[in-house]
Amino acid sequence: MAPHGTGSLFPTAEIARLRRDGTLAAPLPEHLGGAGLCAPDRVDALRRCLTRVGRDSLPVGRLYEGHVNALALVLRYADAETQARLAHDARDGHLFGVWNTEPGDGGLTLDAAGRLHGAKSFASGAGSVTRPLVTARMPDGRRLMLVMRLEPGTRADLSAWRAHGMRATATGTVAFSGLHVGDGAVIGAPDDYSRQPFFFAGAWRFLAVQVGGIEAVVETHRAHLKATGRGGDPHQQARFGQSLIALESSRLLVARAAALAAAETAASARIIAGVNLARAAVEQAGLDVIALAQRSVGLAGFLEDHPLEERMRDLATYLRQPAPDFALTGMAAHVLEAEEPLHDLWPEET
Ligand SMILES: Cc1cc2nc3c(=O)[nH]c(=O)nc-3n(C[C@H](O)[C@H](O)[C@H](O)COP(=O)(O)OP(=O)(O)OC[C@H]3O[C@@H](n4cnc5c(N)ncnc54)[C@H](O)[C@@H]3O)c2cc1C
């Protein structure tokens, strides 16, 4: 059964390829059949993997990032038996995701009898993610992580997902009312989901995907200049050069943020500030490369059959992440309060 309001946009073939080539299982440790990409010493491999998937397709990158995030939470907080069972599901090809965002009214609650009420909104892969990790509020107000077992095509409503970009992510509302929480669905302890620095610092993963989207726009910009023979013009060269600086400085900052988050050696607030610095820089870089490509390519880049058109829409949409002002000002406030010289805030060796 297709989810209500869905078209045929979901990237079924691309996700099937990730399933076949082992990318879906790769976050799992080797003893659970993966490539260990969630281990701290493999953070660079995970970062490059997220950027590569995002470069090929930003919607697929978003879906894969949700899958990785869910498995990372399971590996960090679930007991060994639950980890083994869910690892089996991942190896079996189930797509995971993290659905935390909820509508202003009707957010997900769990009653004392173990019944769910309410819905999740902005849920990527709605109708296709069959093992979503959701957060649900308990009667005492704390939030619990649950991995639910869903049948494909059920409980999803995509009718409101008429977005500017990222349409292929099938981001919709999923209703959970009436479902019982089964044995083994609970991951970790109440409020583990929002434990810091793992919660905020995990933003480095969506940044790695966004770097892939930025690279795709800059690559298209370059292809246009080569194809039209306009690359010799100094104005075009200057804009293209600015785009490259935005891309490569984003890549470096995200690599640093990923290393900082994985090492977990610095104080929590310092790790979060370092990741938030990368968040603000990547958001600005993404906006800049879009504007530069628009000016260099011109009207052709706005036509639906030009590759830049979809890549720009996808990137502009995916740059919208929670509370960007808070990320920037929180980082600035942290550094204003710190006593160390700037060069000691995020030393090279973490
Ligand atoms: C393609 C896509 C897929 C997604 N998939 C998922 C998913 O699978 N699961 C999931 O849980 N979520 C998902 N999301 C939702 C995502 O996690 C964020 O909730 C969403 O992107 C927030 O964007 P926003 O611009 O509405 O953010 P907001 O945080 O609402 O920010 C909008 C503006 O308001 C400002 N602002 C924020 N808070 C305040 C405040 N208190 N006072 C004043 N100003 C404020 C911000 O700085 C910003 O300027 C997805 C989002 C996208 C784009």
Residue of 102, 124, 167 best suited for mutating to test ligand 1, as the one with most atoms within 8 Å of CB: 124
Residues β-bridged to residue 145: 135, 187
Q: Does domain 12-187 have CATH number 3.40.50.1000?
A: no
The reply to whether ligand 1 has any atom less than 6 angstroms from the CB of 97 is yes
pLDDT along the chain (350 residues), means of 10: 59 96 97 97 98 98 98 97 96 97 91 95 96 97 96 92 96 94 91 97 98 98 98 98 98 98 96 98 98 98 97 98 97 98 86
pLDDT of residue 4: 56
For the 198-344 domain, the top CATH level (class) is mainly alpha
The reply to whether ligand 1 has any atom less than 6 angstroms from the CB of 69 is no
The reply to whether ligand 1 has any atom less than 6 angstroms from the CB of 210 is no
The reply to whether ligand 1 has any atom less than 6 angstroms from the CB of 253 is no
CB 158 within 8 A of CB 128: no
Residue of 10, 122, 133 best suited for mutating to test ligand 1, as the one with most atoms within 8 Å of CB: 122
Question: Could you tell me the residue ranges of all domains in the chain?
Answer: 12-187, 198-344
CA angle 259, 265, 267 (to 5 degrees): 110
- pTM of the full structure: 0.96
pLDDT of residue 5: 52
Kindly give the distance from the C-alpha atom of residue 283 to the centroid of ligand 1, in angstroms, as a whole number. 13
pLDDT of residue 1: 45
DSSP secondary structure letters along 298-345: GGGGGSTTSHHHHHHHHHHHHT--S-HHHHHHHHHHHHHH--S-GGGT
What is the rounded distance in angstroms from the CA atom of residue 287 to the CA atom of residue 167? Answer: 19
